[in-house]
Structure 1
Amino acid sequence: MQQGLIHIYTGAGKGKTTAAVGLGIRAYGQGLKVLMVQFLKGWDTGERKVIATLEPCFQLFRYKENDKFVWNMTDEEKSGLEREMRIGLNYIVEAIMSEEWDMIIMDEIMAAVNYGYLPLEEVVEIVKNKPLKLELVLTGRDAPVKLIELADYVSEITARKHPMAKGIIAREGIEY
């Protein structure tokens, strides 16, 4: 049994989820079982369509369909997010306890913590107490120091240029 390590993809640049999905595809290609749980993402993405073709050994879980960023939501829409984030985190805890998965990707977990929808200490405890063989991948901007200290890999993706600065909106197949 090989030891599982902890990865963080963070930073303001584009590609954190893409890197995590790429790592998941690599693991899947070597016969590992991969679960990806997405927080604060609900729009139809290219990775979702591909991962669906890889089931049951690579699965993606989202609580609810949502096509808005947090900063574009009404107060009423935001109020339901904490409950949704809790469902996602509970799903991860159950998945970890099942010991069915070789890799679990917690996509945008940093945003769920940084927006205050999930307590940092709970996520820290999950990371600290993961099974020895489990590879754990966390993504999102502004990774908290407590999580960075626990990680074996930390990749910070920096944006030097981004088309949004020129008013180019997210494009299907590239940004989502």
Structure 2
Amino acid sequence: MEKSLVKIYCGEGKGKSTASLGRAIVCASEGKDVFMIQFLKGRHTGTLDFLKRLEPEVKVFRFEKMNHYYDELSEAEQQEENINILNGMNFARKVLTIGECDVLILDEVLGLVDLGIIHVSDIIHLIRTKPEEMELILTGRNLPQELVEEADYISQINIVKNDETEV
């Protein structure tokens, strides 16, 4: 088996999750099993129902129970969601340990570091636990410097122009 890469999509621009999903579709079309674990997006957003249509080739998991994005929750709700998020991280560790898929995407996992829910060392441990033949994709706005050496491929997505106006 050839060595698969650790890829990171980061930056302030929109499209990190979309880029990882595009990679998921490419890998699924090659017959690979793809798991995507999404963090900080809440239980139900419009995209989740659509993403579920990609199963069984691309399996999407969200462990959060609230219906809103994490940053829209009260402090008490966030504390409750932190437990669910950590359950999602434990699931990611299990998937990596037993090599349950060919491609694992941890969508918005870098945001967990920004919020202090996990430490960058937790992500480094995940990377180093990864079976050599498994591709691991991480997304989030901010890239901790400690992850630069751990990754094989880093794509930074930034805003060049934004003409969107609030309606």
Q: TM-score with structure 2 length normalisation?
A: 0.92
Q: In the alignment, which residue of structure 1 is the partner of 2:9?
A: 9
Give the AA of the match of 2:166: G
Taking the TM superposition and a 5 Å limit, the aligned residue runs for 1:100-139 are 100-139=100-139
Q: In the alignment, which residue of structure 2 is the partner of 1:81?
A: 81
Give the AA of the match of 1:167: E
Distance 1:70 1:58 in 2: 24
Secondary structure (helix, strand or coil) at the match of 1:149 reads: coil
Distance 1:69 1:161, change over 3 A: farther
CA contact (8 A) 1:41 1:66 kept: no
1:106 is displaced (CA, Å) by: 0.2
Give the AA of the match of 2:45: D
Give the AA of the match of 1:31: G
1:67 is displaced (CA, Å) by: 3.8
1:75 is displaced (CA, Å) by: 1.3
Q: Give the percent of matched residue pairs that are identical in Structure 1 and Structure 2.
A: 32
Distance 1:122 1:22 in 2: 26
CA contact (8 A) 1:85 1:118 kept: no
The answer on 1:23 being equivalent to 2:23 is yes
Distance 1:9 1:90 in 2: 22
Distance 1:70 1:55, change over 3 A: closer
Distance 1:52 1:7 in 2: 23
1:77 is displaced (CA, Å) by: 1.0
Q: TM-score with structure 1 length normalisation?
A: 0.87
More displaced stretch, 154-163 vs 4-13: 154-163
CA contact (8 A) 2:34 2:104 kept: yes
Q: CA RMSD in A?
A: 1.6
Q: In the alignment, which residue of structure 2 is the partner of 1:148?
A: 148
Task: Tell me how many residue pairs correspond in the alignment.
Answer: 166
1:81 is displaced (CA, Å) by: 2.6
CA contact (8 A) 2:36 2:105 kept: yes
Secondary structure (helix, strand or coil) at the match of 1:150 reads: coil
1:72 is displaced (CA, Å) by: 2.6
Which runs of no fewer than 5 residues in structure 2 stay unpaired?
none
CA contact (8 A) 2:39 2:64 kept: no
CA contact (8 A) 1:108 1:138 kept: yes
